[in-house]
Structure 1
Amino acid sequence: MSHDLGRAGDRSMTPTVIGVSRGSVRWVWPSVSLRRLRPVPLLVWVLLLAAQGCDRDPSPNPAAHPANRSVEGIVRLTQQEMARAGIDVLRVKAEPFTVHREFPATVQANANELAEVTTLIRGRVVEVSVDVGKDVKKGERLALLDSADLGLAEGAYLKASARQHEAQLAYERAANLHEHRAISLAELQRREAEMKTARADAREAAHRLTLLGVASQELQRLDREQTIRSDVAIRAPFAGRVIVRNITRGEVIETAQKCFVIADLSDVWVIGNVPEKDVRFIRPDESVKVVVPAYPHALFSGTITHISDVLDPETRTMRLRVTVPNPDRLLKPEMFAMVQVYTATVQEALRVPLAAVQEIDGGKMIFVKRADDRFEPRRVVLGDEQSEHVMVLEGLREGEEVVVKGAFALKSEVEIHRVEPTP
């Protein structure tokens, strides 16, 4: 028996193709008994594997399609790539541009409309009538104290008033007796001196009550009713809003303790710090703009009302005060702010959105669109900023189209292919 599988006469051991799929061929060998298996030459296996490999699709070669679309400093993009990156351009034109300086500042309450309310007498708090954030009127009661010192002072006033009344009656009797020559002139003068002394003591006691915060109406009540009240009211010195409260019911407070802080926030102060190099741009009574992070799209108008005459020796800055109307109470004390002082207006200036400016290798760059969807990276020299725009001093000409959206995608192309910007 021959052992050659490749003979033409032995077809029972020939494989049959039953299916072809992408990249592979399925072969089926006939079912044979193990006793009928014959050694298979190595050449047959090599030919079968080679045939299966030839039927597969060739894998794509990444090197066959280079991704470099930058030639001689120009970035090239297809229409599909531009749409995917969201590229948008704007034709620049010369127009007026206001140059300004910005200085850091903080919002503070107007010190001329600010009061730290204290008590003039020691006492225990029995009632607190207002809380933080409440608007109060002038003379409105803020709190009520019970003071033993006030009771003693009112008692002293009533005693002085009684002695004054007694001395007044004694002097009137002495004057009548002297008129009828019943007493000497010296006795009349002694009674007159006692009356004046008693009157002075009564006035001193009344003045002491006034210094303790007792109103004239309370003095009239004291004279009329002759009763002592040891309660004293803490009242608002002017109309405003309570911004600080430092007392609670039952607390014993001293005369040096700050009980409330009341401020009229209808206008506020914005205190800024101006660097020494920018002092020349500040002028008194000049109108300025104020921006706060809490309202980034709002501009508050104000007036420079004070310029410091000296500089801070540590920070080398000059103190600036701007008075800003605040009718809606939007500006709160201790808010951070920026003071914008306008210095000049350039009649014909080229400006671009800040989003159009990219930074590469420490320099500022914009992308200028040229023909056939080509974009030229160009270094520029920038000037002052205004809102969301910046003035371009060098590197751009009027009428050129600048990429204002999607510039970051072009920057990525530049960094990948190391395109050198044109000077």
Structure 2
Amino acid sequence: MRHFFVIVALISAGCNTPAREADHAATSEPRTSEPRTPNLEPRTTEITLTPDMIQRAGIKTVAAMKGPATTSLHLPGVVQPNAYKNVDVTSLVSGRVTQVKAELGQAVMQNEILATVYSPELADAQTAFITAKANRDAHGLKLTRTQRLYAIGAASREELEQMTAQATEMDRMLETARARLVLLGIPEDKAQRLATPADVVTTFDVKAPIAGVITKRMANPGVNIDLSTALFTVTDLSTVWVVADLYERDFASVGVGSPITITAMAYPGLELRGRVDYIDPQVQAETRTAKLRAEVPNGGNRLRFGMFVDVSIGARAARPVVMVPKDAVQTIGAKSVVYVSTAPGRFMPHEVTIGDTMGDHIAITSGVEPGDQVVTEGAFFIRAEHERLP
């Protein structure tokens, strides 16, 4: 009977063993964890490094300095011609273009001949002046003779007054003809030399009113023109306008006279300086901005119309800030961090608010105090050690 109970106990133990092993396998099976995302938030744990680690990483520090900085705005701008030096060239006479001497993009001097126009109007004006002058000269002889006859009683006073009135009317007509010639571009001295039809000039030279570059050319031989027809556009490129949109929130910090710096992607390293000379008094309803304009020098004609540039506008007053080398600032996620040496071999990350870049330094508006020893070389090594901390 005792042997029977032993056999039953062994059979029960053998049956329970697989179940226990299955339970153990289930509990010991590794769990699949979700992929971990790197923590991009800057942690404030102090990092401790040995002197050997500092030497191998080449870690160096400098003291943060206090210095003045100006608040600046960065706006996109567009280069436009200086409207005060952008002149449409028209002819003083109507007629037909017979010759064009200027090409698009050509540099011209003031009073340089750009085109020639054949003008019957100009010829008619000269002929009218010659006729008026001849009539006045002939009438002058008659008036002189009448005055002599009146002096000896051979002519009546009525005849003398009539001749004098006619002379006055002819003087008026002659002056009108002369003034018309001046308006048509014939100088006074040249008009006085007109005596016969052989002296009449039938062509007119269209000249450049200013020195500059031909930016538009509409003139071609054979084209009939009138006084309102634009033949060319001459632009003085020595200065250009840069126009940008100024937002309402910045109206208080920017005014006429604020200094600006212009940079362009086309010319790395080039900085052109000027001042704001106009702010539109009207705000655009769609964008809530006002047009800002600055005149800047354009040496070498490098700035071209329509080119996009960056406009940096300095504030009206400077304010004290902390300056650190640009290499000291590390970007972790969306935050800026500076590593500060708190003691030999000890470094603490400081989250900072950065401002404007000034050469090799950058302004820090919060997070670092003047005199703090900030890491400028080897910051990547400290960052790596920092991220390894639990």
Shift of 1:76: 12
2:12 counterpart residue number: none
Counterpart secondary structure, 2:281: strand
Match of 2:135 in 1: 163
1:100 aligns with 2:101: no
Corresponding residue to 2:223 among 240, 247, 251:
251
Matched, 1:297 2:269: yes
Task: List aligned pairs for 1:17-166, cutoff 5 A.
Answer: 91=62, 93-102=64-73, 103-166=75-138
3-state SS in 1 of match to 2:252: helix
**Residue 407 to residue 319, structure 1, CA distance change in 2 (3 Å):** farther
The equivalent of 1:364 in structure 2 is 335
CA shift in 2, pair 1:76/1:121, >3 Å: farther
SS at match of 2:221: coil
User: Contact 1:124–1:253 at 8 Å: present in 2 too?
Assistant: yes
Q: Is residue 2:151 matched to residue 1:179?
A: yes
Q: Which residue of 1 aligns with 2:161?
A: 189
Q: What TM-score do the two structures reach when normalised by structure 2?
A: 0.71
Among candidates 283, 299, 304, match of residue 311 of structure 1: 283
How big is each residue's C-alpha offset from its partner over 1:245-301, in whole Å with a ceiling of 9 and x where there is no partner? Answer: 221233223322221222333333333332211112224334433323333322222
Change (3 A) 1:89 1:235: farther
Q: How many residues align?
A: 345
Change over 3 Å in CA distance of 1:333–1:339 after alignment to 2: farther
Q: Matches of 1:124 and 1:152 in 2, distance apart?
A: 15
**Do 1:90 and 1:402's aligned partners in 2 also have CA atoms closer than 8 Å?**
yes
In the other structure, the counterpart of 1:266 is 238
- Return the index of the structure with the highest Cα Rg: 1
Percent of pairs identical after alignment? 26
Bigger relative CO (Cα 8 Å, ≥ 6 apart) = 2
Separation (CA, whole Å) in 1 of partners of 2:230 and 2:350: 62
Q: 2:250 aligns with which of 274, 278, 292?
A: 278
Q: Unpaired runs of 5+ in structure 1? A: 1-67, 78-85
More helix by share: 2
User: Aligned in 2, Cα 1:359/1:331: closer, same or farther, shift over 3 Å?
Assistant: same
Q: 1:88 to 1:179 in 2, by over 3 A?
A: farther
**Cα distance in 2 for residues equivalent to 1:132 and 1:355:** 52
Are the aligned partners of 2:69 and 2:321 in contact in 1 as well (CA < 8 Å)?
Answer: no
CA gap of 1:189–1:72, structure 2 versus 1, over 3 A, is closer
Residue 249 of structure 1 aligns to a residue in which SS?
Answer: coil
What is the TM-score of this pair, normalised by structure 1?
Answer: 0.66
2:188 counterpart letter in structure 1: S
SS of the equivalent of 1:296 reads coil
SS, match of residue 193 in structure 1 = helix
Q: Over residues 346-403 of structure 1, what are the superposed CA-to-partner deviations in whole Å (9 max), with x where a residue is unaligned? A: 444134528944362xx22336388999998764333344467543333446544446
Aligned mates of 2:214, 2:287 — CA distance in 1? 34
Paired amino acid for 1:350: M
Q: Is the 8 A contact 1:365 1:377 kept in 2?
A: no
Q: Which blocks of at least 5 consecutive residues in structure 2 are unaligned?
A: 1-37, 50-56
CA distance in 2, matches of 1:166, 1:233: 33
CA offsets per residue over residues 199-242 of structure 1, 9 Å max, x none? 22222122222222333344234336743222011112233333
Match of 2:297 among 321, 325, 349: 325
